[in-house]
């Protein structure tokens, strides 16, 4: 038994001393992160030979070579506890590394890296995490020069370029104690970054980040659909930082600007339910980028602390149909229906053209309703109401229509008769606007019956004109009226003439005309501006009976105080119907009045409904509003 144990111990001793040394089982060589570059860290696992006595297994050796097969140079020799080594002299060469265990001064078989390893200069550029986008975080490790005194190492200088070949533009200088920098102006461009060390006034060779990096663009900009164009809807995530005061919205033609400040908007009161958004209603025709800055800060002041930008350009284009105008289109149809209904009511016959027109009208209206996409019940109501208003008069046609009397129009004949009796002329001024103004057309519509009556009474009608086109039309209207009255011989071109296209020259000329000719009756109908009172007062001084009418609200008071009769606003448009006596015109006037009644009804109903809704939904607020009403109405400031 003793013999057996002795043999076993001798065998083990012989095996341990006389066997070949073994290398570590695993090894790893990699560029060291977060350093300045030029350093490669090699790590390995323990060698099985560690079981040998200390006198036999002394440690490990690390070799490197720039080629796979050597020649190998020793870069490190460590003791038996060593497991890692950092090769700080790696520079920018691609190295092959191998590690051996040393037993009795002899290297074991090596374990090596499968491929070369390069120590990259570790300037790292990444999209700043957990931020608002638009920012790149740059980090770099401790530079060997950091060991130098502060008076020697001045700091670091960062550059960036949109292209790897440059040109690199200086971005910032940072202190020697810094190892990172946040580029908050990165926008959406993929930037190439570069770093240099400032030592004693000189700049080291640059170190480049290996890859370009772009900050995440979180803002979103879309062309608002179904609009006239020119509107872009921009949305972005809420800024989550402290002290947010407002968002500033910028627009630029390119991803890098130049940026133009569009607006500064406060953040929504409830950031959970309300999105951060902005409508750029003056968007340019071409592509545009948007950038939003978060304005934050304390009581001492706010500054732009973070940015978010759109990644892609957006162009505002016009849709083929403007969706938000379909309500106007429906209003046009309703209005037209009521007017046409009354026109047909006043008509004494139904022609084939009327029926065809009605069918076409109904079809077109139905198409518009379908386009509006408002749901079947609402569509039916909106479709049927006006169509019924058209259809009923088609059945019950030919009735007598009552229209409310307008004193100014009833006085027209009397005024013309007065001029005839006095043997003085009649002056008719059709405003000082162009033919594109409906008020001018309304004035010309009144001119026709006035001229006809003047011709019948053999009174001289003077029509001075301000606008060349209006002059030619007025001439034709008066000529036709004289013809219709059977007095073409009484018409003279001299009485319908062009004066001046200058406002006050025209006013002066007409005033002079009134003073010299002393007309018995003056008509001032159409669009007037500041000259209205000059004309009306001059006419008043001459003692003429004056009938004025305009839809210019600012001039109405002048006419009211200086003239005998005034057609206020829409009455000007009704005059043609009153004086013409055409049943269709009378019907249209009735339709116009019904539309006005409808508008009043809608205003009253909606106002009442909103009022009741407000009282029911929030009685407290209503009571508070009631308490504040006197202050709101009179705006009486609290006395100090």
Q: Are 339 and 592 in contact (CB under 8 A)?
A: yes
Query: For another protein, which is the closer residue by CB, 401 or 441?
Result: 441
**Can you tell me which residue has the tokens 């909106």?**
382
Nearer residue to another protein within complex by CB, 529 or 622: 529
Are the beta carbons of 478 and 490 closer than 8 angstroms? no
Report in angstroms the alpha-carbon separations of 389 from 13, 334, 394, 396.
119, 9, 9, 11
Nearer to another protein, 105 or 353 (CB): 353
| Pair 443, 524: CB distance under 8 Å | no
Supply the minimum distance, in Å, between the C-beta of residue 261 and another protein: 28
* Phi, psi of 545, rounded to the nearest 5 degrees: -80, 130
Burial class (CB in 10 A: 0-12, 13-18, 19+), 298: exposed
* Whether 254 contacts 267, CB under 8 Å: no
Smallest separation (angstroms) from another protein to the CB of 351 = 13
Residue 25 has a CB neighbour count (10 Å cut-off) of 11
Distance in Å, CB of 259 to another protein, minimum: 29
For β-strands 94-103 and 106-107, DSSP reports them as antiparallel
Q: Indicate the residue among 94 and 599 with the shorter CB distance to another protein.
A: 599
Residue pair 308/221 in contact (Cβ under 8 Å)? The answer is: no
In the complex, the smallest distance separating the C-beta of residue 612 from another protein, rounded to whole angstroms, is 21
**Least gap, CB of 580 to another protein (angstroms):** 7
In the complex with another protein, the residue whose CB is nearer, 410 or 492, is 492
Other Cβ atoms closer than 10 A to 548: 29
Burial label, 12 (beta-carbon count in 10 A; 0-12, 13-18, 19+): exposed
Provide, rounded to whole angstroms, the least separation between the CB of residue 535 and another protein.
Answer: 10
| Angstrom distance (rounded) from CA 390 to CA 341 | 4
CB closer to another protein out of 335 and 622: 335
Beta carbon of residue 178, minimum distance to another protein (angstroms, whole number): 55
Q: Which is nearer to another protein, 214 or 499 (CB)?
A: 499
Nearer to another protein, 362 or 568 (CB): 568
Q: Tell me the closest approach of the beta carbon of residue 615 to another protein, in angstroms.
A: 21
Helix %, strand %, coil % for the chain, to 5?
Answer: 40, 25, 35
Nearer to another protein, 384 or 469 (CB): 469
Task: Report the residue number, 58 or 445, with the smaller CB distance to another protein.
Answer: 445
> What distance, in Å, lies between the first and last C-alpha atoms of the chain?
118
Instruction: List C-alpha distances in Å: 364 to 334, 358, 599.
Output: 13, 10, 24
Give me the least distance between CB of 602 and another protein, in Å please: 11
Q: Give kind and range of the element (H or E) at residue 608.
A: helix 583-617
Give the nearest distance from C-beta 410 to another protein in angstroms: 19
Q: Are 264 and 246 in contact (CB under 8 A)?
A: yes
How deeply is 568 buried, as exposed, middle or buried, from its count of CB atoms within 10 A (0-12, 13-18, 19+)?
Answer: middle
- Nearer to another protein (CB atom), residue 116 or residue 569: 569
d(C-alpha 310, C-alpha 249), whole Å: 11
Nearer to another protein, 326 or 622 (CB): 326
Q: What's the min distance (Å) between Cβ of 263 and another protein?
A: 25
Report angle CA 400, 401, 403 to the nearest 5 degrees. 145
Output the smallest distance, CB 289 to another protein, in A: 24
Q: State the nearest-atom distance from the C-beta of 339 to another protein, in Å.
A: 6
The H or E element that residue 128 is part of is none
Task: Tell me the closest approach of the beta carbon of residue 543 to another protein, in angstroms.
Answer: 13
Q: Are strands 496-498 and 461-465 parallel, antiparallel or unpaired?
A: parallel
Decide whether 269 or 636 has the Cβ nearer to another protein: 636
- CA-angle at 312, arms to 310 and 313, nearest 5°: 95
Q: Between residues 250 and 558, which has the closer beta carbon with respect to another protein? A: 558
Q: How far is the CB of 525 from another protein (least distance, A)?
A: 13
**d(C-alpha 510, C-alpha 464), whole Å:** 7
For residue 70, give both structure tokens.
Answer: 């050597």
Please identify, using beta-carbon distances, which residue of 498 and 622 lies nearer to another protein. Answer: 498
Q: Which of 44, 45, 46, 51 is nearest to 19 (CA)?
A: 51
Q: Checking DSSP bridges between strand 94-103 and strand 57-65, what pairing results, if any? A: antiparallel
Distance of CA 411 to the CA centre of its chain: 54
Q: Decide if 578 contacts 467 (C-beta within 8 A).
A: no
């Amino acid at each position: 038994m003793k013999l057996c144990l002795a043999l076993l111990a001798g065998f083990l001793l012989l095996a341990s001393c006389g066997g070949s040394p073994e290398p570590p089982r695993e090894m790893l060589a990699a560029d060291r992160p977060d350093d300045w570059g030029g350093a490669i860290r090699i790590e390995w696992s323990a060698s099985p030979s560690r079981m040998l006595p200390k006198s036999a297994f002394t440690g490990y050796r690390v070799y490197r070579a720039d080629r796979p097969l050597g020649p190998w140079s020793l870069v490190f020799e460590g003791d038996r506890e060593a497991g890692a080594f950092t090769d700080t002299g790696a520079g920018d060469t691609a190295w092959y590394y191998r590690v051996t265990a040393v037993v009795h001064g002899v290297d074991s078989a090596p374990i090596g890296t499968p491929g070369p390893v390069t120590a990259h200069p570790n300037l790292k550029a990444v999209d700043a995490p957990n931020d608002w986008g638009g920012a790149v975080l740059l980090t770099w490790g401790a530079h060997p020069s950091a060991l130098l005194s502060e008076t020697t190492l001045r700091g670091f200088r960062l550059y960036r370029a949109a292209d790897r070949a440059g040109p690199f533009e200086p971005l910032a200088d940072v202190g020697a104690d810094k190892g990172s920098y946040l580029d908050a102006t990165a926008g959406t461009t993929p930037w190439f970054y570069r770093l240099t060390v400032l030592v004693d006034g000189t700049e080291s060779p640059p170190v480049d980040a290996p890859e370009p990096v772009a900050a995440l663009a979180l803002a979103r900009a879309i062309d608002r659909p179904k609009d006239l164009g020119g509107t872009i809807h921009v949305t972005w995530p809420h800024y989550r930082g402290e002290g947010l005061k407002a968002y500033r919205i910028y627009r630029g033609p390119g991803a890098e600007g130049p940026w133009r400040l569009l607006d500064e908007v406060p953040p929504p009161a409830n950031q959970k339910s309300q999105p951060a958004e902005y409508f750029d209603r003056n968007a340019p025709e071409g592509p545009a980028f948007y950038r939003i800055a978060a304005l934050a800060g304390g009581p001492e002041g706010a500054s732009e602390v973070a940015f978010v930008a759109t990644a892609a350009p957006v162009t505002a284009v016009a849709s083929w149909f403007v969706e938000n105008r379909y309500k106007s289109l429906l209003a046009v149809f309703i209005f037209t229906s009521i007017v046409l209904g009354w026109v047909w009511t006043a008509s004494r016959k139904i022609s084939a053209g009327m029926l065809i027109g009605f069918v076409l009208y109904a079809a077109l209206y139905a198409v518009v309703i379908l386009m509006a996409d408002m749901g079947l019940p609402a569509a039916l109501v909106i479709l049927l109401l006006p169509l019924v208003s058209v259809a009923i008069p088609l059945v019950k046609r030919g009735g007598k229509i009552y229209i409310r009397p307008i004193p100014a129009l009833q006085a027209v004949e009397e005024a013309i008769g007065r001029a005839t009796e006095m043997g003085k002329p009649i002056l008719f001024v059709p405003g000082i606007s162009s033919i594109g103004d409906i008020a001018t057309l309304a004035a010309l519509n009144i001119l026709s019956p006035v001229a006809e009556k003047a011709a019948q009474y053999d009174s001289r009608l003077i029509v001075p004109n301000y606008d060349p086109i209006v002059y030619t039309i007025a001439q034709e209207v008066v000529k036709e009226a004289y013809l219709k009255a059977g007095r073409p011989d009484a018409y003279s071109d001299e009485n319908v003439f062009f004066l001046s296209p200058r406002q006050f020259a025209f006013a002066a000329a007409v005033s002079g005309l009134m003073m010299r000719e002393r007309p018995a009756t003056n008509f001032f109908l159409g669009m007037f501006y500041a000259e209205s009172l000059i004309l009306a007062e001059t006419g008043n001084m001459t003692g003429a009976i004056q009938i004025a009418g305009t839809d210019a609200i600012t001039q109405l008071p002048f006419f009211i105080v200086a003239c005998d009769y005034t057609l206020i606003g829409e009455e000007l448009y009704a005059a043609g119907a009153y004086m013409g006596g055409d049943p269709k015109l009378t019907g249209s006037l009735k339709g116009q009045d019904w539309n006005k009644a409808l508008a009043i009804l809608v205003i009253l109903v909606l106002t009442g409904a909103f009022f009741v809704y407000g009282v029911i939904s929030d009685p407290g607020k209503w009571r508070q509003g009631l308490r504040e009403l006197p202050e709101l109405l009179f705006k009486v400031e609290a006395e100090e």
